[in-house]
Amino acid sequence: MSGVVRAAIVQTAWTGDKESMIKAHEEYVRQAAAAGAKIICFQELFYGPYFCQVQESEYYAYAESIPGPTTERFAALAAEHGMVMVLPMYEREQAGILYNTAAVIDADGSYLGKFRKTHIPNVKGFWEKFYFRPGNLGYPVFDTAVGRIGVYICYDRHFPEGWRALGLAGAQIVFNPSATSRSLSSYLWKLEQPAAAVANEYFIAAINRVGVEASYGDNDFYGTSYFVDPEGKFVGDTGDPYQPELIVRDLDLGLIETVRNRWAFYRDRRPDAYGDLVQP
């Protein structure tokens, strides 16, 4: 698909319970629809706190099946508003088998599939190996009503191979929902995703939650969510570093072909592009 796609991302703060968090995101969907958005992505583990600051088995209760009750609830909303949705959730495949996952719902409400976070950190404030197994679904690209989209989740962004795999599979927009703290990797936040967008010639949506979830730890999530284009330029302003915000931007997918024709990275990096240089 080419042309302009109006896309939305949400950065928000923990409300205190799962149901109110889901209702808040349902309202964000309605606001995005009223603004004309045709695709929306929420932050990492969107309906809960970032409980990975501690290691407590009680938080396994946030996990649910995908597809399941939350995906079905938002699928109905997707169909109502004709909007593609990326839902970052805590997935329970079976007892003791848990993943950090994003479900993808098409604009007609159909479930298209999921991506499971591949790279799992285990450092102070981010004890994710206590909660998640490494993803085992590779790097799928989903054909949606607005084009071909991919997902990479938070810590994945530090590793270039997934970015590259998504580009080679034809992704036009890649969403990176995150829970990123001011004290750790903020110096990389406006560096890595623009660099990946340039290297792989697609749009990236970088989403980060906001606030300090004091019941769980002192991680200060700094928002500053944004869209970046295939030339590494921010599409409009970045999000607020402290406040919840719905960010809606127009993405001109035609720029992807323009940039790919300019640099020919994909053509020239194919092994068969050098066949005439290989000696028998």
The chain-wide mean pLDDT, for the chain, equals 94
Distance, in Å, from the CA atom of 2 to the CA atom of 17, rounded to the nearest integer, reads 40
In this predicted structure, which of 9-18, 171-180, 261-270 has the lowest mean pLDDT?
A: 261-270
pLDDT at residue 280, rounded to an integer: 44
Distance, in Å, from the CA atom of 211 to the CA atom of 218, rounded to the nearest integer, reads 9
What pTM was estimated for this model as a whole? 0.93
Q: Cis link prior to 177 (omega < 30° from 0)?
A: no
pLDDT at residue 236, rounded to an integer: 97
Residue 58 CB neighbours (<10 A): 8
SS (H, E, C) 71-112: HHHHHHHHHHHCCEEEEEEEEEEECCEEEEEEEEECCCCCEE
pLDDT at residue 154, rounded to an integer: 97
- 52 versus 184: which is more confidently predicted? 52
pLDDT at residue 267, rounded to an integer: 66
Judged against a pLDDT cut of 70, whether residue 276 lies above it is answered with no
Q: What is the pLDDT of residues 204-254, one digit of tens each?
A: 999 999 999 999 999 999 999 999 999 999 999 999 999 999 999 999 999
Positions marked active-site: 44, 117, 154
Distance, in Å, from the CA atom of 110 to the CA atom of 105, rounded to the nearest integer, reads 6
Strands 97-105 and 84-94: antiparallel
